[in-house]
Amino acid sequence: MRPRSNPRSTSRRRAVTKIAFIGLGNMGGGMAANQAKAGHAVRAFDLSATALDKAKAAGCIPVDSVVEAVRDAEVVITMLPAGPHVRGVYVDSIIGAAPSTALLIDCSTIDVDSARAVANQAREAGYRFADAPVSGGTAAAEAGTLAFMVGCDARDFADVEAALEPMSRITIRAGDHGAGQAAKICNNMLLGISMLGTCEAIALAERLGLDPERFFEIASKSSGQCWSVSSYYPWPGPVPTAPSNRDYQGGFATAMMLKDLKLAQEAAAKAGATTPLGAQAEAMYALFDRLGHGGRDFSAMLQLMRGKLDELA
Ligand code: NAD
């Protein structure tokens, strides 16, 4: 784990690197912009013309296909929705089309099996590959303060870390290929569970006549303290940056949390791990999604726990 002030990374950053950036959505758009801001030559591709226009305005070079983006790339970065997109793009348009010297980094959140399958195919074709999913939402993507969890060969980590530096606050090697995705789904399963616990406790506090803001003062300094309480309190007021202050818009969508919890359950089933709280959390977010709130921040679960869905605008 190294902070972004690492002198080696900074000196690498000054050299202009030819980067291919594929997937310029909510996350990838800001990430590609930060690579361009750092002075790199970023050839960018997305299926969406709007995303390409935004990338151009941010200093990237829009191109017409993945193959065109990766043709001369030294580093290829992908930020795509899910496993099937990543498998398809790597097999059809990156492996064999990028120079075999290129470093391939997938930052999407996908299942561990897909990450390992793509890593194996890339390595058989002579490439270095890393799975490097991120923690931090769109604000961190724009600010260049994401946390990356990396699965790669130990000898490739320094180059991966340097390539990610303009987009990162911290980069941690989790282990070999697939370990980055494993870290990501375990972390998000923990977050999904801790948010439900936080919402449940606030709903109970309210029913017991305890002011939820006063409960924040106590829980954030007691053994109930966790990130969901201290940095993302689901009741408006105590944490001004939390989505609870803007009717749970923006932030981390319930549908995204549900996707990550499904990945965790699939991985647990394959590995024979017992994750009863993760299973319960998945069921709760699936219900909230089914009720039409998949686009809201996941901390809006508080209103379900309070039995006050009508308070959502
Ligand atoms: P998004 O849907 O906004 O962006 C994905 C982009 O990929 C879209 O612009 C889409 O057009 C593009 N795309 C799809 N298939 C393509 C293809 N074949 N070629 C080129 N472009 C293609 O999603 P997002 O919010 O940016 O999330 C991307 C990844 O990051 C997901 O795996 C998500 O789970 C993960 N993630 C998201 C957040 C968040 O807060 N949004 C946080 C952490 C991790």
| pLDDT for 8 beyond 80 | no
Q: Where in the chain is the domain with CATH 3.40.50.720?
A: 7-177
Taking residue 223's Cβ as centre, other Cβ atoms within 10 Å add up to: 6
Sequence-distant (≥ 6) Cβ neighbours of residue 133 within 8 angstroms: 107, 108, 109, 110, 148, 149, 180, 181, 183, 184
Cα-to-centroid distance, 81 and ligand 1 (Å): 4
| CB 77 less than 6 A from any atom of ligand 1 | no
**pLDDT bucket at 4, cuts 50 / 70 / 90:** very low
Six token digits for residue 220: 């954030």
pLDDT in tens, 80-133: 999 999 999 999 999 999 999 999 999 999 999 999 999 999 999 999 999 999
Rounded Cα–Cα distance for residues 190 and 193 (Å): 5
User: Hey, what amino acid is at 229?
Assistant: V
Burial grade of 128 (CB within 10 A; 0-12, 13-18, 19 or more)? buried
Q: Where are the beta strands (DSSP E) in 110-159?
A: 128-131, 134-135, 146-151
Q: Which CATH number fits domain 7-177: 3.40.50.720, 3.20.20.10, 3.30.300.30, 3.20.20.210?
A: 3.40.50.720
User: How, if at all, do strands 61-62 and 134-135 pair?
Assistant: unpaired
Cα-to-centroid distance, 82 and ligand 1 (Å): 8
Residue with CA at minimum distance from ligand 1 atom 38 = 137
Atom of ligand 1 lying closest to residue 252 CA: 40
| CB 26 less than 6 A from any atom of ligand 1 | yes
Q: Where in the chain is the domain with CATH 1.10.1040.10?
A: 183-311
| CB 256 less than 6 A from any atom of ligand 1 | yes
Q: For a pocket test of ligand 1, which of 22, 45, 46 has the largest count of ligand atoms closer than 8 A to its C-beta?
A: 46
Sequence-distant (≥ 6) Cβ neighbours of residue 300 within 8 angstroms: 234, 243, 244, 248, 254, 288, 293, 312
Q: For a pocket test of ligand 1, which of 47, 187, 261 has the largest count of ligand atoms closer than 8 A to its C-beta?
A: 47
Please identify which residue in the block is written with the tokens 């724009």: 142
CATH T-level fold of 183-311: N-(1-d-carboxylethyl)-l-norvaline Dehydrogenase; domain 2 (1.10.1040)
- pLDDT: which is higher, 251 or 205: 205
